[in-house]
Amino acid sequence: MTGMDDALKEFLIESHENLDQLDRDLVALEQDPSCRDSLANIFRTIHTIKGTCGFFRFQQLGALTHAGENLLSQLRDGKRSLDEKTTSVLLSLVDAVRRLLGTIEATGQEGTEDFSRLTTRISAISKGEAWIEELEEEAEAAETVSIVADGTIRVEVGLLDRLMNLVGELVLARNQVIQHTAIQKDTTLLGAVQRLNLITTELQEGVMKTRMQPIATVWNKFPRLVRDLGVACGRSVHLTMDGRETELDKSIIEAIKDPLTHLIRNSIDHGLETPEERRKLGKPPEGRLTLRAFHEGGQVNIEVSDDGAGIDPARIRRKAIERGLIGRDEAVAMSDRDVLQLIFLPGFSTAASVTNVSGRGVGMDVVKTNIERISGNVEVVSRVGQGATVKLKIPLTLAIIPALIITCDGDHFAIPQVNLLELVRIEAEQISQSIEDVRGAHVHRLRGSLLPLVYLREVLGLGPVTTQDAVHIVILQAGDRPFGLVVDTVNDTEEIVVKPVGKQVKSISLYAGATILGDGKVSLILDVRGIAQTIGMGVDNREHATREAPNATKGPTCQTVVLVGAGGDRRFALPLSLVARLEEVAVRDLEETATGQVTIYRGDVLPLVHLTDILGLPRTESGNNAALQVVVCSNGDQVVGIVVDRIIDIVETPLELKPPSRPMPGVRGTTIIQGRVTEVLDPVRLSEAALSFVDEEAAP
Amino acid sequence: MSTTRLYCSFFIDKVFCGLEVDKVQEVLRPQPITRVPLAPPIVRGLINLRGQIVTAIDLRQRLGMSPRTEHRESMNIVIRTEEGIVSLLVDDIGDVIPVDDAAFENVPDTLRGAHRELINGVCKLNDRLLLVLNTEQVMRIL
pLDDT at res. B9 = 92
Q: Check CB contact under 8 Å for A504 and B47.
A: no
Is 60 exceeded by the pLDDT of residue A381?
yes
Of B43, B47, B53, the CB nearest to A499: B53
Q: Of A141-155, A359-373, A520-534, A667-681, which one has max mean pLDDT?
A: A520-534
Smallest CA–CA distance, residue B85 to chain A, in Å, is 8
Is 90 exceeded by the pLDDT of residue A415?
yes
A547 belongs to a structural domain: no
Q: Which of the residue ranges A320-329, A566-575, A690-699 would you say has the lowest mean pLDDT?
A: A690-699
pLDDT at res. A438 = 72
pLDDT at res. B142 = 53
Q: Sorting pLDDT into bands at 50, 70 and 90, what band is A683?
A: low
User: Residue A524: its chain B contacts at CB < 8 A?
Assistant: 34, 36, 46
pLDDT at res. A297 = 66
Q: Measure the CA–CA gap between A323 and A337, rounded to whole angstroms.
A: 19
Is 90 exceeded by the pLDDT of residue A153?
no
Is 50 exceeded by the pLDDT of residue A327?
yes
Residue A140's CATH number: 1.20.120.160
pLDDT top residue among B44 and A544? B44
- Please tell me the CATH code under which domain B4-140 is placed: 2.40.50.180
- The residues, ordered by sequence, that sit 6+ positions from B116 with a Cβ below 8 Å of its Cβ are B107
Mutate to test the interface with B, among A171, A505, A507 (most CBs of B within 10 A): A505
pLDDT at res. A181 = 87
Three-state SS at B4: strand
Beta bridge partners of B106: B121
pLDDT at res. A393 = 84
Smallest CA–CA distance, residue B100 to chain A, in Å, is 35
A553 belongs to a structural domain: no
Q: To the nearest whole percent, how much of chain A has pLDDT over 90?
A: 6
Q: Measure the CA–CA gap between A326 and A333, rounded to whole angstroms.
A: 11
- The residues, ordered by sequence, that sit 6+ positions from A456 with a Cβ below 8 Å of its Cβ are A406, A408, A413, A462, A485, A486, A487, A526
Alpha-carbon distances, residue B117 vs A37, B16, B104 (angstroms): 58, 17, 16
Is 50 exceeded by the pLDDT of residue A540?
no
Q: Sorting pLDDT into bands at 50, 70 and 90, what band is A475?
A: very high
pLDDT at res. A359 = 42
Out of A102, A128, A150, pick the residue that ends a domain: A150
User: Residue B58: its chain A contacts at CB < 8 A?
Assistant: none
* Residue B120 sits at the chain A interface (C-beta within 8 Å): no
A239 belongs to a structural domain: yes
Residue type, A678: T
pTM: 0.54
- The residues, ordered by sequence, that sit 6+ positions from A65 with a Cβ below 8 Å of its Cβ are A46, A47, A49, A50, A53, A93, A97
- Asked if residues A689 and A610 have their Cβ atoms less than 8 Å apart, the reply is no
User: Residue B32: its chain A contacts at CB < 8 A?
Assistant: 520-521
From first to last of its 142 residues, chain B has per-residue pLDDT tens of: 578 889 999 998 888 899 999 999 999 999 899 999 988 888 899 999 888 899 999 888 888 888 777 677 889 999 998 878 899 999 999 999 888 888 888 877 776 665 677 888 888 888 888 888 888 888 776 5
DSSP A310-337: ---HHHHHHHHHHTTSS-HHHHHHS-HH
Is 80 exceeded by the pLDDT of residue A473?
yes
Reported as a single tens digit per residue, the pLDDT across A636-681 is 667 788 888 888 877 777 666 666 666 666 777 777 777 777 888 7
Calculate mean pLDDT across residues A289-312: 86
Reported as a single tens digit per residue, the pLDDT across A109-131 is 777 777 777 888 888 777 766 55
A330 belongs to a structural domain: yes
Q: Measure the CA–CA gap between A225 and A240, rounded to whole angstroms.
A: 13
A181 belongs to a structural domain: yes
Q: Are residues A382 and A264 in the same domain?
A: yes
Q: Are residues A614 and A677 in the same domain?
A: yes
Q: Are residues A375 and A423 in the same domain?
A: no
The 3 state secondary structure assigned to A130-153 is CCCCCCCCCCCCCCCCCHHHHCCC
Helices (H) and strands (E) in chain A, counts: 22, 29
Q: Check CB contact under 8 Å for B43 and A514.
A: no
Q: Are residues A379 and A314 in the same domain?
A: yes
Continuous segment of H or E residues that includes residue A73: helix A59-76
Break chain B into its structural domains and give their ranges. Answer: 4-140
Query: How do the residues of chain B divide into helix, strand and coil, expressed in percent and rounded to 5?
Result: 15, 50, 35
Of B43, B46, B86, the CB nearest to A522: B46
List residues of chain A with CB under 8 Å from any CB of chain B: 169, 172, 411, 460-462, 499-505, 508, 510-511, 514-516, 520-524
- The residues, ordered by sequence, that sit 6+ positions from B25 with a Cβ below 8 Å of its Cβ are B78, B79, B80, B85
Q: Check CB contact under 8 Å for B34 and A516.
A: no
Q: Check CB contact under 8 Å for B48 and A520.
A: yes
Q: Are residues A276 and A379 in the same domain?
A: yes
pLDDT at res. A467 = 60
DSSP 8-class letter at B103: G
Q: Are residues A625 and A689 in the same domain?
A: yes
pLDDT at res. A552 = 33
A435 belongs to a structural domain: yes
Calculate mean pLDDT across residues A178-191: 87
pLDDT at res. A4 = 59
pLDDT at res. A100 = 82
Q: Check CB contact under 8 Å for A172 and B40.
A: no
pLDDT top residue among A698 and A169? A169
What is the complex's ipTM, to 2 decimals? 0.88
pLDDT at res. A526 = 92
Residue A689's CATH number: 2.40.50.180
Smallest CA–CA distance, residue B65 to chain A, in Å, is 20
A44 belongs to a structural domain: yes
Q: Sorting pLDDT into bands at 50, 70 and 90, what band is A135?
A: very low
pLDDT top residue among A360 and B103? B103
Is 50 exceeded by the pLDDT of residue A555?
no
Sheet holding A676-681, edge to edge: A646-654, A558-566, A570-575, A676-681, A667-673
Residue A199's CATH number: 1.10.287
Q: Are residues A205 and A219 in the same domain?
A: no
Residue type, A524: L
Residue range(s) defining the domain that contains residue A694: 558-698
Reported as a single tens digit per residue, the pLDDT across A420-472 is 889 988 887 777 777 877 766 788 888 777 888 888 988 888 877 666 678 88
Smallest CA–CA distance, residue A455 to chain B, in Å, is 14
Count how many domains chain A has.
5
Of B37, B40, B52, the CB nearest to A504: B40
Q: Are residues A570 and A674 in the same domain?
A: yes
pLDDT at res. A350 = 52
Is 90 exceeded by the pLDDT of residue A524?
yes
Q: Are residues A410 and A295 in the same domain?
A: no
Q: Measure the CA–CA gap between A552 and A480, rounded to whole angstroms.
A: 10
Reported as a single tens digit per residue, the pLDDT across A249-278 is 888 888 888 889 888 888 888 888 888 888
Continuous segment of H or E residues that includes residue A390: strand A387-395
Q: Sorting pLDDT into bands at 50, 70 and 90, what band is A203?
A: very high
Phi then psi for residue A282, to 5 deg, are 80, 20
- Asked if residues A51 and A38 have their Cβ atoms less than 8 Å apart, the reply is no
Q: Are residues A298 and A418 in the same domain?
A: no
